[in-house]
Structure 1
Amino acid sequence: MAPGEPSGAVSRSPVRIGRISGFHGVHGWVKVYSDTRPPENIFSYDPWLIDTGEGWRELKVAKHRRQGRLLLARFEGLEDRDAVTPLLNCEIAIDPAQLPPPGRDEYYWETLIGLEVVNRDGQSLGRVQGIIETGGHDVLVVAGEKERLIPFVGDVYIDAVEPEADRIRVDWDAERW
């Protein structure tokens, strides 16, 4: 496959790991925003899948570096700014098969997005629409009749995560915030 051609070889839904946030110079370098921790881990995945809005483009990172606070990457076969212009603000993802299995009681955010959140009374509070990283604890953004922010703290608010049942069980009163 030629660099940047659409790829249909993804085994499951791609997992977002960052985005292309800007250009750096005129020789095809791009600025990368990373969702991985530490941020440099984004470069340990190969190839990247770029969501162009018209499908996934599989790209290999030819070179990468950190420059101050910036993460920079250059792709094989894309040697100038014109070649990378269509990639600006595109999401970076990978095939989930590249991810190591999570540890016990650990979950990838992608696993949690879309799960129904049910409290101890059996009431559906909505579905996980996003996750906020706060530094202390991640917070689930649950959209239902109203939006709720539920700290993702096991043994306090989270009773069980059951991806196979499409559900997260929580200790959360439906009338709370």
Structure 2
Amino acid sequence: MVVLGKIAGPHGLQGAVRVYPFADDPLAWSRLPQWWLGREGEAPESWRPTRLIKCDLRNEMLLAQLECVADRSAAEAAAGLLVGVPHQALPPTAADEYYWADLIGLEVVNTHGQSLGRILGLIETPANAVLRVGDGQGAERLLPFVAAVV
């Protein structure tokens, strides 16, 4: 499952939700007919699909109407859920592009050829993305995902 964003809470009284996007072009999601909802750490097969009825971008947040969210109470209950799609549902990338999910599990090697571990995840910050790199023994490093470092 490729995580696209996180439901931040309700919008209005009709069951719309505010979604904090984790992608460069979140409006492209509106072309995906179905989204999946789940919680962090849940197995992909436990995520539940829902039809996307409407999706707009406002102030860097997506406002989405989902089939499974009927009213404001349901939208409040959905806060904190992750929004994702199976990798095969995403459009193909250009030669010099990738999805963050494609990086998870890749080995990180320094300029001396020493392994620093594998990518566990990415963190979006206002300045740049940050790689979470785990050494397999519980230690983690945070590496800025910028050309000077990567």
Which category of TM-score, normalised to the shorter sequence, fits these structures?
0.7 to 0.9
Which residue among 20, 32, 35 is the counterpart of 2:19?
Answer: 32
Moved runs in structure 1, 4+ residues, more than 6 A? none
Q: Distance in 2 between matches of 1:23 and 1:75?
A: 11
Q: Distance in 2 between matches of 1:151 and 1:83?
A: 37
How far did 1:152 drift? 4.4
How far did 1:63 drift? 2.1
What residue ranges of structure 2 are gaps of 5+ in the alignment?
Answer: none
Q: Which amino acid aligns with 1:108?
A: Y
TM-score normalized by the length of structure 1: 0.66
What residue ranges of structure 1 are gaps of 5+ in the alignment?
Answer: 1-13, 159-177
Q: Distance in 1 between matches of 2:119 and 2:98?
A: 14
Q: Which amino acid aligns with 1:15?
A: V
Which residue among 95, 101, 122 is the counterpart of 1:104?
Answer: 95
- Deviation string 1:20-75 (CA, Å, 9 cap, x unpaired) is 11111222111111122233222222200000458211111112334455421112
Identity of aligned residues (%): 36
Q: Secondary structure at the match of 2:48?
A: strand
CA pair 140-83 structure 1, distance change in 2 beyond 3 A: closer
Q: Distance in 2 between matches of 1:138 and 1:97?
A: 24
Task: Say what the alpha-carbon RMSD is for the aligned residues.
Answer: 2.7
CA pair 110-67 structure 1, distance change in 2 beyond 3 A: closer
Match of 1:80 in 2: 71
Quick check: 1:141–1:150 contact (8 Å CA) kept in 2?
no
Match of 2:32 in 1: 45
Equivalent pairs, count: 143
Q: Flag the structure with more relative contact order, 1 or 2, with Cα contacts below 8 A and sequence separation at least 6.
A: 2
CA pair 81-47 structure 1, distance change in 2 beyond 3 A: same
Q: Secondary structure at the match of 2:30?
A: helix
Q: Which has the larger radius of gyration?
A: 1
Match of 2:3 in 1: 16
TM-score normalized by the length of structure 2: 0.76
Q: Which amino acid aligns with 1:110?
A: A
